[in-house]
Amino acid sequence: MKKLAAACLALTALAAGGCGSSGSASGKTVVTFANWAAAEPATAPGIAAMIKKFEALHPKIDIKSEPISFTDIEHQLVLEVQSGNPPDVAELQGNYLYTLAATQDLQPLGGYGSGAFSKSVIGSELKLGELGGQLDAIPWTVGPIGLWYNKAVMKQAGLKPAPPATWDQLLSDAKAIHKKLPKVIVLGMDTTSREFALDAAWPVMTSFGAVPFSGTTSTADTPAMQSYLSFMRTLAKDGYTPEGQKTGFFRQPAASNQVAFTVDGPYVKGVAQSINHVSDQKFYQTWGVARLPTGSAGQHYSTPTDHQLVMFKNSANKTAAWQFMQFLATSQYSVLNYTLKYENSIPPLASPPAEVAKELDNPITKSFVKSIIPEVIKPAWGAHYSAAYLDVMAGIQKAMTSSEPISSVASGMQTSLKSDLGS
Amino acid sequence: MALPALLILALVIGYPMVAAVIVSLSHYSLLSPVHTFAGGANYSQLVHDPVFWQSLKNTAVYTGVSVVAGLVLGLLLALALERAAGPWRAIRALLLTPWAVPVIVVAFLFQFMFTTPGGIINAALLKAGLIHSALPWLTSPALAMVTVIIANVWTQLPFFLLVFTAALGGVPDEVIEAARVDRAGTWSMVFGIKLPYLRSAAVVGALLMIIQNFNNFPLIWAMTQGGPAYATSTLVIYVYQLAFTSFKLGYASAIGVVWLVLLLVIASLFIRVMRSDRA
């Protein structure tokens, strides 16, 4: 009997502990924050410091960080929403916002994000978080895709250390680099089966005039797409780009000057310096970033890889959650000690204060702000993107790794897209 | 007496199975709170889905080659080590260690070994003069399947080794002695005497490994994620992608039901073979 009573007591204690995540035992408000910043070695210390600072400034609020890898966070959050226990706040990127918005569980932020906040943030960045005229996400860090070029490697290969203006010029540079430095990865590009891989490929495809789909209409079987696929096949067959690797794979060898070019956001600097510990000046001497080259369309393009913050409707601590979101996105402390220091991204501030502006005064950030951000286009993000991206990436992989005629690859991509988009 | 066990089976196995069939008859997206009855639409889509048929073919190749290779190699090793004595017994223990390694560790281990550039397999083959340039083991549609099968056979070999070692121990000594008296050669001993005794063990082992390989997710996912271009996408990989990256739970469930039926058919064939053996 005593054992039964003890077991019941234990079960009751467990149940009580599991319920009501909104408050801790000390009576503080607990805000849960799902993010990948805490899951990555380069940014984990930074986000931990941010949380500590916020908690020091708001002694009645505790932040419970839920680290989830970038690749898994989208479906993990969908499952949490479906099982009725989403976090209060989450970090999102790209199409993840559209996926989560489709669950109808995101808290509209119009009431929070109006007035002083909306004036403090770059207008176009705020617009990226608007879906159907409703503000669902606020910008946290700004990070468009650019072409990083290693000046030291280019010089070693006998090239002028300047970014190629066209993809043809890049192929010419690639040939020279590959001949002189065969062990160097010429071009880092994400060609995995991830949604982010299509985000990164989108501006490259668009520069060839190729758009795989728009809404539920597949438009993959075009001469422009074949031209793009032929370019990707050349990159693979000539040994310039290792197939099937994610963007992050190239950051470590980039830190050791084993990469000549890489298509990536601003994060390269932060990750490289966390590995090789070079000074900013030394980094700027080695690396530059420019707009992605043009293709036959004759225009430069880029895609946003901005990190955004959302709040969920289920949150029982909306006020505290909003305070935390604001702190992360626009507080000077967070911008200086996380956005710039750890992520090396651009803060979404419309009028950065003097101390922040001083940090933004460097060749990398200037290139992103002046040259790359104006070229940003949005991929065909939406509910259908998550159904379609696999077909596009599978087609790109097929072009890179097989000998199937390019026309057949494009036609196969079209057929798969039609099936998955229901068109 | 059997009621508690039946209740647990009904809860743990029966309920998910029935739920999967119901979901397979719906337009069920994880992104939408509204789910409508679809009838056979998901099954109709499956018939016309080239990725489904490729995944089915990949599953058959992956499972078939892995089981046959594991079985044959396991049998050969069991026969070779049957009379191992003294320090040679340690080899058998060593050969069992792959089974103790977690599958995810095996996946990353083989990924590093076969990666291009930098993998040790290419380095060894280049040094031995067997190839002139590094092979794209994980990024060629043809070679990627070979690579995951090699990794899979490495993990499963110990199972077949154990099964056949135990089965060989069950061969009656009198039968072996009688064969020796009749001056049976090695081949006659193996094919005429020992193999018939190993048949049941082979059938059971093969069935278990077929079921396991049908469901083998972590090895392929960690090594190739079903790529490149669906070249190593098996049914379980495709179902995962449909359910958790495209969020099409209804369609994924339809494929899951087909997969279950396939496994039931295979299992019933094997059970028939075992029953005929006993008869």
pLDDT exceeds cutoff 70 at A5 = no
Q: Is the dihedral of CA A254, A258, A261, A263 positive or negative?
A: negative
| Count of alpha carbons within 13 angstroms of residue A31, beta-carbon side | 25
Identify the residue among A314, A390, A396 best suited for mutation to test binding to B, counting B beta carbons within 10 A and taking the highest.
A390
Write out the residues of chain B at the interface with chain A, using a CB-CB cutoff of 8 A. 30-33, 45, 48-51, 116-117, 136, 138-141, 224-231, 241, 244-248
pLDDT exceeds cutoff 70 at A290 = yes
User: Is residue B5 in some structural domain?
Assistant: no
B228/A75 CB distance under 8 A: no
User: Is residue B101 in some structural domain?
Assistant: yes
Helices (H), A145-210: 151-156, 167-180, 195-207
Q: Which residues in chain B land under pLDDT 70? A: 277-279
User: What pLDDT, on a 0 to 100 scale, did the predictor assign at position A17?
Assistant: 44
Residue in A closest to B46 by C-alpha: A419
pLDDT tens per residue, range A231-253:
999 999 999 999 989 999 999 99
pLDDT tens per residue, range A303-312:
999 999 999 9
Nearest chain B CA: its distance from A422 CA (Å) = 10
A419 touches chain B (CB under 8 A): yes
Out of B32, B225, B244, the one facing A193 most closely (by C-beta) is B225
User: What pLDDT, on a 0 to 100 scale, did the predictor assign at position A3?
Assistant: 52
Chain A residues whose beta carbon lies within 8 Å of the beta carbon of residue B241: 193, 390
User: What pLDDT, on a 0 to 100 scale, did the predictor assign at position B189?
Assistant: 75
pLDDT exceeds cutoff 90 at A277 = yes
B51/A416 CB distance under 8 A: yes
Out of B224, B231, B247, the one facing A78 most closely (by C-beta) is B247
CA distance B99 to B158: 6
Residue in B closest to A74 by C-alpha: B245
Domains of chain A, earliest start first: 27-143+305-375 (3.40.190.10), 146-303+379-421 (3.40.190.10)
User: What pLDDT, on a 0 to 100 scale, did the predictor assign at position A212?
Assistant: 96
User: Is residue B235 in some structural domain?
Assistant: yes
Identify the residue among B54, B112, B247 best suited for mutation to test binding to A, counting A beta carbons within 10 A and taking the highest.
B247
User: What pLDDT, on a 0 to 100 scale, did the predictor assign at position A16?
Assistant: 45
CB-CB contact of A291 with A147 (8 Å): yes
- Sheet with A287-290, edge to edge strand ranges: A185-188, A259-264, A146-150, A287-290
pLDDT tens per residue, range A129-140:
999 889 999 999
pLDDT tens per residue, range A168-191:
999 999 999 999 999 999 999 999
Nearest Cα to A222, choosing from A210, A239, A232? A210
Tell me the CATH number at B32. 1.10.3720.10
User: What pLDDT, on a 0 to 100 scale, did the predictor assign at position A319?
Assistant: 95
pLDDT exceeds cutoff 60 at A20 = no
CB-CB contact of A118 with A329 (8 Å): no
pLDDT tens per residue, range B123-150:
999 999 999 888 889 988 889 999 999 9
The two tokens of residue B142 are: 């043809």
User: Is residue B69 in some structural domain?
Assistant: yes
* Helix and strand totals (H; E) in chain A: 19, 13
Residue in B closest to A395 by C-alpha: B229
- Mean of pLDDT values over A373-399: 92
Confidence of residue A47 (pLDDT cuts 50, 70, 90): very high
Chain A residues whose beta carbon lies within 8 Å of the beta carbon of residue B50: 412, 415-416, 419
User: What pLDDT, on a 0 to 100 scale, did the predictor assign at position A19?
Assistant: 43
User: Is residue B250 in some structural domain?
Assistant: yes
With H, G, I as helix, E, B as strand and everything else as coil, classify residue A130: strand
DSSP per-residue letters across A326-366: HHHHH-HHHIIIIIIIII--B--BSS--HHHHHHH-SHHHH
User: What pLDDT, on a 0 to 100 scale, did the predictor assign at position A15?
Assistant: 45
Given the cut 0.90, state whether the ipTM is greater than it: no
pLDDT tens per residue, range A88-139:
999 999 999 999 999 999 999 998 867 888 889 988 889 999 998 899 999 9
Identify the residue among B27, B31, B135, B238 best suited for mutation to test binding to A, counting A beta carbons within 10 A and taking the highest.
B31
B139/A183 CB distance under 8 A: no
User: Is residue B162 in some structural domain?
Assistant: yes
- Mean of pLDDT values over A147-159: 97
Segments forming the whole domain that contains residue B151? 27-278
User: Is residue B106 in some structural domain?
Assistant: yes
Nearest chain B CA: its distance from A402 CA (Å) = 7
Out of B49, B50, B227, the one facing A397 most closely (by C-beta) is B227
Chain A residues whose beta carbon lies within 8 Å of the beta carbon of residue B139: 236, 242-244, 400-401
Chain A residues whose beta carbon lies within 8 Å of the beta carbon of residue B33: 103-104
B50/A397 CB distance under 8 A: no
CA distance B249 to A211: 28
Burial of A277 (0-12, 13-18, 19+ CB in 10 A): exposed
User: What pLDDT, on a 0 to 100 scale, did the predictor assign at position A198?
Assistant: 96
The domain total for chain B is 1
User: Is residue B65 in some structural domain?
Assistant: yes
Neighbours of A148 (CB within 10 A): 26
- Estimate to the nearest angstrom the gap between the alpha carbon of A63 and the chain centroid: 23
The two tokens of residue B115 are: 């990666």
User: What pLDDT, on a 0 to 100 scale, did the predictor assign at position A261?
Assistant: 98
